[in-house]
Amino acid sequence: MPTEQMVSATEFCLHNNTEINFIITLHESSIIDITKVEEEVFIPVSQLKIIEKILRLQHDLDINTEGIEAITHLLQRMLEMQNELLLLKNRLRMFEEN
């Protein structure tokens, strides 16, 4: 992925008043993706919204990394279930119309 679609983790951390180690920990926990280019860490733009939500959880609610990992897993599972429910509703509607 080209660096144009990425944000420097250092700049992101400075802007959001957080440590680069926190970003690396999130990556090691498989919560977010990062890319290293010549020892510089970059965050894909698509991951920024997720990281900002996680930072709010950590700062506002004082949730640790393990808690964040559990919450993100549950939120992902909930989204999958909502998509499955929508698919099933559409199928049911198709049968009801016939």
For residue 1, name the pLDDT band (cuts at 50, 70, 90). Answer: very low
Residue 18 belongs to domain spanning: 3-97
Taking residues 64-73, what's their average pLDDT? 90
Query: By 3-state DSSP, what share of the chain in percent is helix, strand and coil, each rounded to 5?
Result: 70, 10, 15
Q: How many CB atoms lie within 10 A of CB 82?
A: 10
Confidence of residue 95 (pLDDT cuts 50, 70, 90): confident
CATH number at 61 reads: 1.10.1660.10
pLDDT in tens, 6-65: 999 999 999 999 999 999 999 998 899 999 988 899 999 999 999 999 999 888 998 988
pLDDT at residue 3 greater than cutoff 70: no
Are the CB atoms for 44 and 5 separated by under 8 Å? Answer: yes
Q: Are 45 and 7 in contact (CB under 8 A)?
A: yes
Overall number of domains in the chain: 1
pTM of the model: 0.74
